């Protein structure tokens, strides 16, 4: 079901508040986009005639941030370049799918077959980390490490 933008924004703020993440009003559009999947944004435009962003590009940002956060956590000067590269490879979609589903189920704006994609929840988790990085990189790192290390 496609809901109004105001409802989306209210649900988005409520979700981020549950994570103890606040953001200024000028980031509202990005916050909503962080939880909006591709088909939903297309169908929103069809229904309301207004384009809204989806989380695709934010997931790309989040993917990079997740890799950086993991490397910052595991870096030691004694470790080889190969070891660090192996750490980066450890940031995998199958792991993020599990984390994303636990964290985001019932909170993503989706339609049609958005959630059928192999890495739907992984992309959602990466978009979440991407958005939080834009407003508070330290909180993003803290949240990433909490969920990545399984301290849910």
CA distance 62 to 59: 5
Q: What is the pLDDT of residue 88?
A: 72
Angle (deg, nearest 10), helices 81-89 and 56-74: 140
Cα-based angle 94, 116, 148 (whole degrees, multiple of 5): 25
Q: Which residues of 116-139 are buried (b: 16+ CB within 10 A; e: fewer)?
A: eeebbbbbbbbbbbbbbbbbeeee
Q: What is the pLDDT of residue 16?
A: 98
* pLDDT tens digits along 25-83: 999 999 999 999 999 999 999 999 999 999 999 999 999 999 899 888 888 999 888 88
Q: What is the pLDDT of residue 152?
A: 42
Stronger pLDDT, 128 or 92, i.e. the higher one: 128
Coarse DSSP helix, strand, coil percentages of the chain, rounded to the nearest 5 percent: 70, 0, 30
* pLDDT tens digits along 70-108: 888 888 999 888 888 877 766 677 788 989 999 999 999
Which residue carries 């209210």 as its tokens? 10
**DSSP 8-state code for residue 2:** -
Stronger pLDDT, 63 or 149, i.e. the higher one: 63
Half-sphere exposure for 146 (CA within 13 Å, toward CB): 13
């Amino acid at each position: 079901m496609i809901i109004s933008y105001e409802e989306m924004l209210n649900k988005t703020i409520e979700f981020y508040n549950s994570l103890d993440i606040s953001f200024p009003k000028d980031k509202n559009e990005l916050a909503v986009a962080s939880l909006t999947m591709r088909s939903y944004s297309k169908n929103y435009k069809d229904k309301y005639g207004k384009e809204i962003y989806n989380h695709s590009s934010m997931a790309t940002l989040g993917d990079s941030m997740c890799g950086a956060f993991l490397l910052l956590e595991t870096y030691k000067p004694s470790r080889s370049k190969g070891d660090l590269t192996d750490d980066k490879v450890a940031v995998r979609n199958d792991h993020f799918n599990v984390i994303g589903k636990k964290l985001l189920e019932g909170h993503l704006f989706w339609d049609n077959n958005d959630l059928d994609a192999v890495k739907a929840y992984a992309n959602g988790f990466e978009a979440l980390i991407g958005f939080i990085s834009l407003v508070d990189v330290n909180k993003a790192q803290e949240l990433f490490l909490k969920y990545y290390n399984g301290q849910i």
